[in-house]
Amino acid sequence: MNLFGKHLLTTQEWSVSEIEAVLGLADEMKKDRFSSKYTSLLLHKTFFMFFYNPSVRTRQSFECAATELGGHAQFLEPSSMRLKTSKSAGETNEDAAKVMSRYACGLGIRMLEDKVQKYGDGDAFLREYCQYGAIPVLSMAHDKYHPCQGFADVQGAREHLGGISGKKLLMVWGHGALARSWCSVQESILINSRLGMNVTLAYPKGYDLDPEVIANCKKNCQAAGTKFEITNDPVECYRGADIVYSRNWMSPHAYDPVEGFQKKREVEAALKHAEWITDSKKMAVTNNALYTHPMPVDRGHEVSDEVCSGPRSIIYDVAENRLHVQKAIMALTMSKFDYKPSGKSASKKHGVAA
């Protein structure tokens, strides 16, 4: 399969066969990381990384991915560029997208909620670059979605479970000192519901996610013949879970366009829900579940150290997988690599106790 020129803003807009192509190629690239089959796919080509927000794993993994494919990743900071904003004159998105397309083979954009006026503006910004540019645009996390993290989550789960169809994913809110975006959480429940998981979403009252995303998750599960449920119980939700993904996320009030992004207020509110922590007692009622998190982890709040660093934690494998899935995405969308799936799924991996 070749996806040359295809944009990636969310996996919900890709077919299941396209999603499986990325995961299959990522598995093969992970097993044979520096194979000559892959090291020249982006030879002498440049991938632009447009960072409105800082990162740790995102920048590192994309730079490594470009290098291992024979190309170069160039870091771009909007503050160092003469771009038009609501407060200043400069180059429009249309002009910037068209010029960037003359230079690079692809463009990644990272724009979270604190860099936009209201929820959805980041998504609209990326879509404007898709509209005017002539190269694939990849979301490196924006206010609605984080597709690369979603792919990495699935690859990690499959490596350790041997398959995820029919398994239960618990996406559970965690209290903490960091006010988090919705993007990783929303992407994970979208892609996992597409691929046949039962999804339970658990959070305190008042922390609802995007209604459109929830509606799509319900449709995904209905199409797959699986179950989607929402609960406000911080304990019972763990029963029967095969994968536990704990993560703080902000309430919809943080996105209020009148009040603006209220990070401090959200942190203070989150700290009042101390019962919403993933710990050993709760994990004991699961189906010997894996524990995962997109990182950085707020240890002692979202999850206890005992669980986060325990034998069923796959957080580091998932972090590593960002590199492999991004290599696969870049190879398929930025080169004319014709991937033919081997048909072999990822097997159980070392490192996690049975």
Residue 200 shares a structural domain with residue 305: yes
pLDDT at 27: 98
Average pLDDT for 183-188: 98
The length of the chain in residues reads 354
Residue 244 shares a structural domain with residue 205: yes
Q: Quick: pLDDT tens for 243-285.
A: 999 999 999 988 876 666 777 777 777 788 999 999 999 999 9
pLDDT at 78: 85
Q: To the nearest whole number, what is the mean pLDDT of the chain?
A: 93
Residue 128 shares a structural domain with residue 227: no
Q: Is beta strand 228-231 parallel, antiparallel or unpaired with respect to 243-247?
A: unpaired
Cα separation of 147 and 54, whole Å? 17
Q: Quick: pLDDT tens for 130-180.
A: 999 999 999 999 999 999 999 999 999 999 999 999 999 999 999 988 889
Query: Would you say residue 173 lies in a domain?
Result: yes
> What six digits make up the tokens of 104?
């690079």
Residue 305 shares a structural domain with residue 176: yes
Query: Would you say residue 158 lies in a domain?
Result: no
Q: Quick: pLDDT tens for 211-245.
A: 999 999 999 999 999 999 999 999 999 999 999 99
pLDDT at 342: 76
Residue 170 shares a structural domain with residue 299: yes
Nearest to 173 by CA among 265, 95, 278, 32: 278
Query: Would you say residue 3 lies in a domain?
Result: no
Q: Are the CB atoms for 249 and 181 separated by under 8 Å? A: yes
Residue 220 shares a structural domain with residue 274: yes
Average pLDDT for 170-191: 94
For residue 127, is pLDDT > 80?
Answer: yes
Residue 89 shares a structural domain with residue 134: yes
Per-residue pLDDT band at 348 (split at 50, 70, 90): very low
CATH number at residue 58: 3.40.50.1370
Query: Would you say residue 267 lies in a domain?
Result: yes
Nearest to 108 by CA among 131, 132, 74, 67: 74
Per-residue pLDDT band at 344 (split at 50, 70, 90): low
For residue 351, is pLDDT > 50?
Answer: no
Cα separation of 36 and 39, whole Å? 5
Question: Which range of residues forms the domain containing residue 92?
Answer: 11-146+318-334
Q: Quick: pLDDT tens for 301-330.
A: 999 999 999 999 999 999 999 999 999 999
Query: Would you say residue 136 lies in a domain?
Result: yes
pTM: 0.94
For residues 7 and 272, which has the higher predicted lDDT (pLDDT)?
7
> What six digits make up the tokens of 127?
């879509």
Query: Would you say residue 236 lies in a domain?
Result: yes
Query: How many distinct structural domains can be found in the chain?
Result: 2
Average pLDDT for 171-193: 94
For residue 354, is pLDDT > 70?
Answer: no
Query: Would you say residue 89 lies in a domain?
Result: yes
For residue 345, is pLDDT > 60?
Answer: no
Residue 326 shares a structural domain with residue 210: no
Residue 113 shares a structural domain with residue 189: no
Amino acid sitting at position 107: L
Query: Would you say residue 39 lies in a domain?
Result: yes
Per-residue pLDDT band at 2 (split at 50, 70, 90): confident
Nearest to 306 by CA among 345, 348, 278, 339: 278
Give CA separation, 239 vs 158, 169, 247, in Å.
20, 11, 18
Cα separation of 272 and 234, whole Å? 14
Cα separation of 256 and 233, whole Å? 26
Cα separation of 115 and 288, whole Å? 40
Residue 305 shares a structural domain with residue 326: no
Instruction: Look at 23-32, 49-58, 97-106 and tell me which has the smallest mean pLDDT.
Output: 49-58
Residue 71 shares a structural domain with residue 201: no
Per-residue pLDDT band at 349 (split at 50, 70, 90): very low
Residue 241 shares a structural domain with residue 200: yes
Q: Quick: pLDDT tens for 50-92.
A: 999 989 899 999 999 999 999 999 999 888 887 867 667 789 9
